[in-house]
Amino acid sequence: MLLVDTYNVLHHPLAHRELPHDAGPAELAALIAAGRHRRSRAVLVCDGMPRNMGPIAHRHAELRFQVEHAELIYAGPGRDADSLIERLIEAEHAPRRMSVVSSDRRLQRAARRRRARVIPSDDFLRSLITDVDRGKSRWLRPAFTTEVPLSPSAIRYWKDLFRIDEADLPPEAVEPQKVQASSTPPDERPKVERAPVPVPQAMPKPEPEPIDPVLLEALREWRGRLSLDDLDMTRWLGD
């Protein structure tokens, strides 16, 4: 088991230098899942609650969900991660098979009392960065953080995951079809005659544009490290 003091890792100076500036718990979980620790059961513990939780934040002592095969735990409103990590260390049935990732001396002492392995945050970060440099993993932002707009099934998933009650949401956050359905009874809706949908004509395929000479020179200079596929914006923007 890999028990991670998440913000102790993310706030380490080495993380500020080597990781993307907006890296958060989900990105750290993705990096762990792609490197040498991918086969370990990873538990990432965070202080408080996620940002922008709104009025539902006070309802739960802890918030748990799965990210990149890791369990992400928020300690709860006004609660710190250290106390929760100490309780998890004490409750572990096989502490000698546990690795506690933190540079906090309080947590290191708690881990050593139970004969658990201690990994300082800087050593842990170096192992993740080494895996990236060796090509064993790539920095990937989890897919769920970039899915916009959310599909109806994704909306239901997040509502269930965070136990969100629609009564807590502002009107603009409610699914449009539900707002529209509740505003006008079915029998009173005016009937609208729809015009026939025109059949789209096939557009001629445009000729490919020539490669910019500066880009061509860069491809030659960075052969094996840069390809045209990396510059295809449709890969990153999708539809």
What DSSP letter does each residue of 68-83 carry, written as one string? TTEEEEE--TT--HHH
Lateral strand order in the sheet of 2-5: 63-67, 70-74, 42-46, 2-5, 99-101, 117-119
Cα separation, 15 vs 7, in Å, equals: 10
Give the pLDDT band of residue 41 (cuts 50, 70, 90): very high
- Of the listed ranges 83-92, 188-197, 208-217, 225-234, the least confidently predicted one is 188-197
pLDDT band at 210 (very low <50, low <70, confident <90, very high): low
Which is more confidently placed, 197 or 225?
225
10 Å CB burial of residue 151 (0-12, 13-18, 19+) is exposed
Check pLDDT > 50 for residue 180. no
The predicted pLDDT at position 170 comes to: 58
pLDDT at 189 over 60: no
pLDDT digits (tens, 9 = 90+) for 218-231: 777 766 666 666 66
Percentage of the chain beyond pLDDT 90 is 33
Which residue has better confidence, 155 or 26?
A: 26
Q: What is the mean pLDDT of residues 169-182?
A: 53
**Model pLDDT, residue 46:** 95
The more confidently predicted of residues 15 and 207 is: 15
φ, ψ for residue 144, nearest 5 deg: -65, -15
Query: What is the reported pLDDT for 109?
Result: 96
195 has pLDDT over 70: no
Question: What's the CA gap between 239 and 235, in Å, rounded?
Answer: 9
Rg (CA), the chain: 24
Model confidence band, residue 11 (pLDDT cutoffs 50, 70, 90): very high
The values of phi and psi at residue 130, to 5°, are: -60, -40
pLDDT, one tens digit per residue, over 116-151 is 999 999 999 999 988 877 765 455 555 555 556 666
Is 86's pLDDT higher than 70?
yes
Task: Report angle CA 39, 69, 96 to the nearest 5 degrees.
Answer: 45
What is the predicted pLDDT for the residue at 227? 63
Counting other chains too, the contacts that 87-94 makes at CB distance below 8 Å and 24 or more residues apart are 88/3, 88/43, 88/45, 89/3, 89/114, 89/116, 90/114, 92/1, 92/116, 94/1
**Mean pLDDT along residues 57-84:** 83
Task: For the chain, give the mean pLDDT.
Answer: 76
Res. 179 pLDDT band, cuts 50 70 90: very low
